[in-house]
Amino acid sequence: MVLLTLMAIVTIGVVRLRNLFAVVILGGIYSFLMASVMIMLDAVDVAMTEASVGAGISTVLMLGTLYLTKMEETRPAHTPLLPLFVAVVTAGGLIYGTIDLPPFGDAAGIIHQHVAPHYLQNSIVETSVPNVVTSVLASYRGFDTLGETVVIFTAGIAVLLLLKGRRPASEPDSNAAKARSRRRRPKA
């Protein structure tokens, strides 16, 4: 509960602040809080991913992007009413959806009756891997993980094409790099 309250505070900070550097750092804090929530829920693998990807790499990439753009967010030209309406309706729909969910941690819930018991009981016998998360991820659901890997592959190729393809390869740019670091130093 404390964590969720902190997350709400961070979210309000993200919405209110105009300084994008602070927003990115708050985003990292949000991810760490989320990772802590995941640990509370005993989802250690997810917590690890959230901490490394959400708080680590995303923050670094956002900071890298900030370096390329401006630090301050411009004031929005339109009123916030339409976005607010969309957000409220979506949140209302999601909360309405949770009413039909089985109670939290209910072992008799439908999702715990389908294939989960088979995984939990037979993971060691069939794959000799004690961490069921790994055996489900890599073996029982190996096809899904292949899809995820291909998604990352595609994303990487796409970013490389977009960011590297535009400029000609013949730019050794040691001079440009030097000039850039010289320009950066007074600020730091």
Partner 1 sequence: MKFDTILRIGTKLFLPFILVFALYVQFHGDYGPGGGFQAGVIAAAMVIFYAITFGLEAAKQAMPPLVLEVLIGLGVFLYTGVGIVAMLKGGEFLNYSALKHDPVHGQHLGILLVELGVLITVFATMTAIFYAFVGRGR
- Closest to partner 1 by CB, 44 vs 88, is 44
Stretch that binds partner 1, among 5-13, 77-85, 103-111, 121-129 (CB under 8 A): 121-129
Does the protein bind partner 1 through residue 115 (CB under 8 A)?
no
Rounded to the nearest whole angstrom, what is the least distance from the CB of residue 167 to partner 1 in the complex?
A: 8
Instruction: Please select the residue that binds partner 1; options are 8, 88, 101, 146, rule is CB under 8 A.
Output: 146
When binding is defined by CB under 8 A, the residue of 15, 88, 89, 150 that contacts partner 1 is 150
Q: Which two tokens stand for residue 98?
A: 């949770």
Output the smallest distance, CB 37 to partner 1, in A.
15
Part in contact with partner 1 (CB under 8 A); list of ranges 20-28, 47-55, 71-79, 107-115: 47-55
Could you tell me the two tokens for 37?
């929530």
Taking the C-alpha atoms of residue 87 and residue 81, their distance in angstroms, rounded to an integer, is 10
Q: Which residue of 16, 75, 164, 187 would you call a contact of partner 1, by CB under 8 A?
A: 164
- Where does this chain touch partner 1 (CB under 8 A) — which range of 28-36, 71-79, 84-92, 123-131? 123-131
The DSSP-derived string for the chain is: -HHHHHHHHHHHHHHH--BHHHHHHHHHHHHHHHHHHHHHTT-HHHHHHIIIIIIIIHHHHHHHHHHHS-SBPPPPSS-THHHHHHHHHHHHHHHHHHHTSPPTT-TTSGGGTSSHHHHHHHHHHHH--S-HHHHIIIIITHHHHHHHHHHHHHHHHHHHHHHHSSS-S----HHHHHHHHHHHTTT-
Q: Is 45 in the site for partner 1 (CB under 8 A)?
A: yes
**Is residue 153 a contact residue for partner 1 (CB under 8 A)?**
yes
Nearer to partner 1, 2 or 188 (CB): 188
